[in-house]
Structure 1
Amino acid sequence: MTAIDLNADLGEGFGRWRLTDDERLLSVVTSANVACGFHAGDAATMRRVCELAATRGVRIGAQVSYRDLAGFGRRAMDVPPAELMAEVAYQIGALEVFARAAGTRVSYVKPHGALYNRVVHDEEQAGAVVDGVLLADATLPVLGLPGSRLLELAAKAGLPTVTEAFADRAYTEHGTLVPRDREGAVVTDPDAVVARSVRMARFGEVDADSGARIQVRARSLCLHGDTPGAVDLARRIRERLQRSGVRVEAFA
């Protein structure tokens, strides 16, 4: 039976403001990408999400980002490699404190937003992320786009790697994500998102924005927690996957 992990971005609030419905999403997903304070999240939020995830048996991942609270981590930035390495390790370490306090641990690392897209092609920035993971914990799996420089360098460094596909993001013919400033970058039709999820999980393929069929073989499937109706959509995806003979379980 085909198996796939279902992950979502959680803890994306700050202070009294909350963007994601963490408690309800944690009843559906198998892995939680927790914001570590650089694009969203704060100490209290990280602690709360870790406690909820531990209670539900959901794996916790550090969602590391450029230092960009104002831009939600989605603005292009040029950060010196040594600085980026330290900031990645810092974010992982901060989340690990709250994970351990909740009786669990950080199980993987996933870049967020602009950093995620940058390390697909940029060897220097990808290397800095890998070095940051190694500094924090050389056993942590790295979650990323198939064929990315990040996963290539992580594997060379001895880190476990996990490939990821996106239920609600459009793809280019090259297997990369369509930039968010382009029309159609986010797939908003719930039926289309569900159908794409099953197709990617079972057959490892999806239609690119050009209409071409491309390969997207992945062990984890991401649904963005800030998507409108994310909880109901996540439930629909999980139910349809299971009815289609796909086992939904954490990769780690």
Structure 2
Amino acid sequence: MLDLNADLGEGMGDDTAMLALVTSANVACGGHAGDRATMRAACEEAAALGVRVGAHVGYPDRDNFGRTFVDLAEAVLLSHISDQLGELTDIAAAAGTTVSYVKPHGALYHAAGSHPPHARAVVTLARSAGLAVVGAPGSLDLDLAREAGLTSIAEGFADRAYTPLGSLVPRTEPGAVLHDPRAIAARVADLTRTGTLTAVDGSRVRLDVRTICVHGDTPGAVAIATRVRAELERVGLTPVPFS
């Protein structure tokens, strides 16, 4: 079974259209983007559609959209992301839904994959609330989550290019973000069939994932998500929320 998720509640893109296509919504909690209004709108729509809600926690760095590493002490980072989760949890409850998982955003997502203090902060947060953790295959935060007895969900990205080592091509490099809905859908179908995809150098990279992300702020995100979902349904893998 495969889940389809999107980063939403960021105050950009078409959240309503995306929520009609995905099975999980990573809702920005005010760190890198979003506010109470965008959180409430995303949670209410997700609740109406039966879409799972996750906390898309990030560095308190709205100027850089959370895409720059911030060297915070573990306790300081934990305080920031705890506040973010707390606010989203309250808003989700008022909207008639619950927060089911934690997915770090941007630079924190990458740091949690290999930087022990920030990985521990993310897992401590998830453990305190009994939530699953979404991260990159083989990442440190997923390893720590499993050790803590939490559900760990490995994620692949539909609209991002990969290096031969299985990491994302940095956004600062040409071709890091993919835009052709047809090519992206074919790539996702290939991944679901083979467990591998083609890296930027033409080699094949293994990615064992349980959820696929389409970024809500990518230009043409709705067209991409529409095509990806249609292709998954065509090959008999209608997306379902992970469990």
Q: CA deviation at 1:202?
A: 2.2
Q: C-alpha offsets along residues 190-245 of structure 1, whole Å, 9 cap, x if unaligned?
A: 22211111111222111111211010111100000111111122111111111112
Q: Which amino acid aligns with 2:103?
A: K
Percent of matched pairs sharing the same residue? 51
Q: C-alpha offsets along residues 138-174 of structure 1, whole Å, 9 cap, x if unaligned?
A: x210001010001001111121101100001111121
Give yes or no for contact 1:88–1:133 (8 Å, CA) kept in 2. Answer: no
Q: Which amino acid aligns with 2:207?
A: V
Moved over 6 A (4+): none
Counterpart-to-counterpart distance in 1, 2:225 and 2:31: 25
Q: Which amino acid aligns with 2:135?
A: G
- TM-score normalised by the chain length of structure 1: 0.94
Counterpart-to-counterpart distance in 2, 1:246 and 1:38: 34
Counterpart-to-counterpart distance in 1, 2:115 and 2:201: 24
Is 1:148–2:139 an aligned residue pair? yes
Q: CA deviation at 1:247?
A: 2.6
Q: Which amino acid aligns with 1:175?
A: G
Select the residue among 41, 50, 72 that pairs with 1:48: 41
Counterpart-to-counterpart distance in 2, 1:108 and 1:155: 14
Instruction: In structure 1, list runs of 5 or more residues that go unmatched.
Output: 14-18
Select the residue among 22, 33, 52 that pairs with 1:29: 22
Q: Which amino acid aligns with 1:36?
A: C
Select the residue among 69, 75, 97 that pairs with 2:90: 97
Select the residue among 218, 222, 237 that pairs with 1:231: 222
Counterpart-to-counterpart distance in 2, 1:149 and 1:84: 17
Give yes or no for contact 2:180–2:224 (8 Å, CA) kept in 1. Answer: no
SS at 2:153's partner residue? Answer: strand
Give yes or no for contact 1:165–1:200 (8 Å, CA) kept in 2. Answer: no
Instruction: In structure 2, list runs of 5 or more residues that go unmatched.
Output: none
Give yes or no for contact 1:26–1:58 (8 Å, CA) kept in 2. Answer: yes
Counterpart-to-counterpart distance in 1, 2:127 and 2:231: 37
RMSD: 1.0
Select the residue among 65, 71, 81 that pairs with 1:72: 65
Give yes or no for contact 2:164–2:199 (8 Å, CA) kept in 1. Answer: yes
Match of 1:12 in 2: 10
Counterpart-to-counterpart distance in 2, 1:177 and 1:193: 15
Aligned length: 243
Map residues 1-252 of structure 1 onto 2, 5 A cutoff: 3-13=1-11, 19-135=12-128, 137=129, 139-252=130-243
Q: Which amino acid aligns with 1:61?
A: G
